[in-house]
Structure 1
Amino acid sequence: MTVKLLNHLEEGPASAPPLLLGPSLGTSYALWDAVAPELSITYRVVRWDLPGHGGSPADRIGPGATVGDLAALVLELADALGIERFAYAGVSLGGAVGLHLALHHPERLTSLAAICSSARFGDSTPWRERAGRVRREGLEWLAQSADARWFTPGFTVPRLVQDHREADPEAYAACCDALAAFDLRDRLADIAVPTLLVAGRQDPATPPAHLREIADAVPGATLVELPGASHLAPAQCPTAVLTALNTQLNGAPASGMAVRREVLGDAHVDRAQARQTPFTARFQDYVSRCAWGEIWTDPTLSRRERSMITLTALVAHGHYDELAMHVRAARRNGLTPQEIGAVLLQTAVYCGVPAANSAFATAQRVLAEEEESRRE
């Protein structure tokens, strides 16, 4: 019999480090729509749906389910995709799944981010009462209050509210059973996976105190509180969530010289260092500290985006020697020749045809050299 895997969406290079993203109760993987595309530039992102939510089969979960059961389904998915170890980030119930994995399967995780989540989601009675009513009446009555539970006043994401309405009532109720039984408070100190906690300051479901409790107990954990965010922070404050995740996933910011080498290549930097004299030393240090140590390490923009901006600026000012260097850098940062050509074509409109003509000539030479080197 064919195993029905959790519905999922894969994005990013298959060879990139894997990152699994878990949803909140009542939502689908659309919860990550504003965050996942950026993460997929450098990670193999796998978003998954809870049973009975989005496109996942409802019969993968039943009454009396536990968070451990959901975690087993996530590992089953990872195994089917050939993913041995992965970074994990999850929201609310999805975050609880991550906490369970970090405690019971630490060998599978490289890092954990629990967003708007908890080690215990309050008393079990309200969850069991909710489960019972959903089994009797369906989800429409609950979906009507989704905005108040998930977002600050005046904000909504219609797609997620619709996901709530369309979830399978039995599967939703089983997830409530899992939340009712979940309590890892006395085991948090045993978590050894690098852990990030993200709290929404306006979250009524899992207020910052819940995340602070985890951060205080998990050795070395980091806590980030997001002003203006309620329970579904990736949908309401995607830039802030993305910045927090990038900081965790990328580790401590690399030094300016390290980033310079990653973007421009060792050969170029070694030549620049060899040409350095006492007269130019302070300038080289300035470039490494400011350009590479502050601007290029800022996670607000990806390196791909910074390459596109840099190419445009160099064309505008006619710096074609620098342009050649940054065409090579753009290729290292993941831009295709077609994307580089599209950037240069746009410069024809805003920087002038003569400047773009020279830029195309420079880029064509660099790309041809790169192709020739690859053949050799």
Structure 2
Amino acid sequence: MTLVLNHLTEGPATAPPLLLGPSLGTSYALWDQVAPELSIGHRVIRWDLPGHGGSPAELIGPGATVGDLAGLVLALADSLGVERFAYAGVSLGGAVGLHLAVHHPERVSSLAVICSSAHFNGAKAWEERAATVRAEGLAKLADGADGRWFTPGFTVPRLVRDHRDADPGAYAACCDALAAFDLRDRLGGIGVPTLLIAGREDPATPPAHLREIADAVPGSTLTELPGASHLAPAERPEAVLTALRAHFDGGARRGMAVRREVLGDAHVDRAQGRQTPFTARFQDFISRYAWGEIWTDETLSRRERSMITMTALVAHGHYEELAMHVRAARRNGLTPDEIGAVLLQTAVYCGVPAANSAFAAAQRVLAEEDGATG
């Protein structure tokens, strides 16, 4: 039986796959506050490094490279029937993502590199750490994990415990991989959409490391998170989630564009301006599903969708929404006479009182438009 990396899969099996890579010393629990939300629209697959979490230590040995780890990730994807995937990784997990984008671009659809680097300050410090861990184990190193990983006063006990429980030999082999890693001369060849996320308080891979990648990768984007150290998905999960959604969720981007085209910038700007943490997921839902999937389906024209939408709104008595979609219908090419014909049809199938209220709402909108035109 072939050994593969331990992993956790979340989300619909038919959704676009998204692989999440961990930092050295952590398990896939690093993504606990982010992965469940990402799995709403993706098939999320988060994995453990060899000797970390539930992954077998024998998957890696002395002198390992980031390329070896990338090979294990590809073997995992193959075992799950995943040919092409989006990828996000933290620190060493981010280095794996860079390697994949450089050496296996046909497998990676888009990339996010979080609190990572195209090099990790040379080989010496990592060679020394590997030797220390092989000789003394991980207990002493784990005692200082909070200072390397988080801003003062913050901790995630589960991740510190994972660090302490990791296999020393596999951990040291991962240090070997970091010691040998340097992709700076290959960054210009990365052609997939790339997002860089830096923690402003990160002592291990400060923002300058991410900026170096952003400057070299064509068309890439850099986001710096205040109040975040090295393990940003654990310390600032909401900010990381927002950035990853915006980067990976093409449906949301398409949906927002269509939403603006149909409803107008003024309306969408007002809706966005009223958004709160409580309503953010609902606004995202509207953009991704209503506007990003339904309204972008070319089976029906936008004119036809406007007529159907107005009818449904009359049927359910949503006259404030109806007014908004009367304006949208005008943008979609319907004349006032055609809008009137739709509302007259609702008088037969939805009832005269409903149509009466609908005509009143539509008349106000059309009068406002006529006044603005005049």
TM range (shorter): 0.7 to 0.9
Kindly tell me: are residues 216 and 289 of structure 1, through their superposed partners in 2, closer, same or farther at Cα, counting changes over 3 Å?
A: same
Question: Distance between the aligned counterparts of 1:114 and 1:192, measured in 2?
Answer: 14
**Pairing 1:97-176 to 2, within 5 Å after superposition:** 97-176=96-175
What residue is the counterpart of 1:366 in the other structure?
none
What residue is the counterpart of 1:248 in the other structure?
247
What residue is the counterpart of 2:184 in the other structure?
185
- Does 1:201 find its partner at 2:200? yes
Kindly tell me: are residues 54 and 219 of structure 1, through their superposed partners in 2, closer, same or farther at Cα, counting changes over 3 Å?
A: same
Aligned-pair identity in percent equals 69
Kindly tell me: are residues 99 and 93 of structure 1, through their superposed partners in 2, closer, same or farther at Cα, counting changes over 3 Å?
A: same
Kindly tell me: are residues 257 and 99 of structure 1, through their superposed partners in 2, closer, same or farther at Cα, counting changes over 3 Å?
A: closer
What residue is the counterpart of 1:321 in the other structure?
317
Root-mean-square deviation (Å): 2.7
Question: Distance between the aligned counterparts of 1:288 and 1:254, measured in 2?
Answer: 17
Question: Distance between the aligned counterparts of 1:295 and 1:86, measured in 2?
Answer: 34
Deviations 1:284-304 (CA, angstroms, capped at 9, x unpaired) = 6478534677778x9983348
For structure 2, the residue ranges without an aligned partner over 5 or more in a row are: 287-314, 322-374
- Does 1:301 find its partner at 2:300? no
Is 1:119–1:214's contact at 8 Å kept on the other side of the alignment?
Answer: yes
What residue is the counterpart of 1:258 in the other structure?
258
Kindly tell me: are residues 158 and 225 of structure 1, through their superposed partners in 2, closer, same or farther at Cα, counting changes over 3 Å?
A: same
Question: Distance between the aligned counterparts of 1:189 and 1:299, measured in 2?
Answer: 40
For these two proteins, the number of residue pairs brought into alignment is 292
Question: Distance between the aligned counterparts of 2:97 and 2:257, measured in 1?
Answer: 35
What residue is the counterpart of 2:68 in the other structure?
69
Amino acid paired to 1:321: G
Deviations 1:1-35 (CA, angstroms, capped at 9, x unpaired) = x1111000000000000000000000000000000
What is the TM-score with the length of structure 2 in the denominator?
0.73
Question: Distance between the aligned counterparts of 1:66 and 1:306, measured in 2?
Answer: 41
For the pair shown, the structure with the greater C-alpha radius of gyration is 2
1:193 positional shift: 1.1
Question: Distance between the aligned counterparts of 1:49 and 1:10, measured in 2?
Answer: 12
1:322 positional shift: 3.5
Is 1:256–1:288's contact at 8 Å kept on the other side of the alignment?
Answer: no
1:208 positional shift: 0.3
**Pairing 1:24-63 to 2, within 5 Å after superposition:** 24-63=23-62
Amino acid paired to 2:7: H
1:258 positional shift: 2.4
**Pairing 1:262-277 to 2, within 5 Å after superposition:** none
What residue is the counterpart of 1:218 in the other structure?
217
Question: Distance between the aligned counterparts of 1:82 and 1:20, measured in 2?
Answer: 13
What is the TM-score with the length of structure 1 in the denominator?
0.72
Question: Distance between the aligned counterparts of 1:64 and 1:164, measured in 2?
Answer: 21
1:184 positional shift: 0.4
Deviations 1:41-60 (CA, angstroms, capped at 9, x unpaired) = 00000000000000000000
Question: Distance between the aligned counterparts of 1:299 and 1:242, measured in 2?
Answer: 15
Amino acid paired to 1:145: G
Kindly tell me: are residues 173 and 256 of structure 1, through their superposed partners in 2, closer, same or farther at Cα, counting changes over 3 Å?
A: closer
Question: Distance between the aligned counterparts of 1:82 and 1:62, measured in 2?
Answer: 27
Is 2:260–2:268's contact at 8 Å kept on the other side of the alignment?
Answer: no
